[in-house]
């Protein structure tokens, strides 16, 4: 799947399509994964959107040197192994994984799964919305 981005001076927009469309793409190679860093020009994080058909996972476990990951389950259910612990995940689950934790995620035997993974350097957040946001007056155009 190839994304086309609309770039302006202050934002970049791309359309992944419907979640069901991501799942249709899984028939070709068992997994559908779209990294967004290059498409959107991200500079402080990597974001990927992944869809697995039932009973599918990566063929390997992994961990990171510096980056923590946040997994957000958008659709379906499955299991995630974190080191030696197996947890159930489903639509609405959010899981933060520290860099040195071994991880893998699999869809359930009868359920596809769609999830977002956000990866950023651990302990790099210097400000969040309350400290970084600037309130502006405005109305929607049109």
pLDDT tens string 71-120: 999 999 999 999 999 999 999 999 999 999 999 999 999 999 999 999 99
* Fold of the CATH domain 37-123: Jelly Rolls (2.60.120)
Q: Report the pLDDT averaged over residues 47-65.
A: 93
Strand residues in 1-142 grouped as ranges (E): 5-7, 12-14, 32-35, 46-52, 67-82, 85-90, 94-97, 103-107, 113-121
Q: Which pTM was predicted?
A: 0.86
List Cα–Cα distances, 107 to 29, 39, 57, 76, 98, in angstroms: 15, 27, 7, 8, 21
Task: Give residue 39's pLDDT band: very low, low, confident or very high (50, 70, 90).
Answer: confident
Q: Report the pLDDT averaged over residues 50-70.
A: 94
**Res 33: pLDDT:** 84
Q: Would the pLDDT of 30 be above 70? A: no
Determine the Cα–Cα distance for residues 88 and 78; give it in Å rounded to an integer. Answer: 6
Determine the Cα–Cα distance for residues 33 and 47; give it in Å rounded to an integer. Answer: 10
Nearest of 37, 58, 33 to residue 47 by alpha carbon? 37
Task: Give residue 56's pLDDT band: very low, low, confident or very high (50, 70, 90).
Answer: very high
Q: What would the two tokens of residue 19 be? A: 């979640």
Domain boundary assignment for the chain: 37-123
**Res 18: pLDDT:** 77
Determine the Cα–Cα distance for residues 108 and 79; give it in Å rounded to an integer. Answer: 7
The backbone torsions φ and ψ at residue 132, rounded to the nearest 5 degrees and listed phi first, read: -105, -20
31 within 8 A of 50, measured Cβ to Cβ: yes
31 within 8 A of 56, measured Cβ to Cβ: yes
């Amino acid at each position: 799947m190839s994304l086309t981005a609309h770039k302006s001076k202050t934002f970049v927009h791309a359309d992944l399509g419907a979640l069901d469309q991501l799942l249709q793409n899984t028939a070709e190679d068992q997994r559908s994964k779209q990294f967004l860093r290059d498409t959107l020009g991200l500079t402080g994080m990597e974001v990927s959107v992944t869809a697995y058909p039932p009973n599918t996972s990566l063929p390997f476990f992994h961990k990171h040197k510096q980056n923590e990951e946040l997994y957000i389950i958008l659709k379906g259910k499955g299991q995630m192994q974190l080191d030696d612990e197996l947890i159930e995940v489903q639509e609405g689950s959010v899981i933060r994984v520290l860099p040195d934790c071994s991880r893998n995620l699999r869809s359930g035997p009868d359920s596809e799964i769609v999830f977002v993974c956000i990866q950023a350097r651990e302990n790099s957040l210097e400000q969040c919305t309350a400290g970084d946001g600037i309130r502006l007056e405005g109305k929607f155009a049109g």
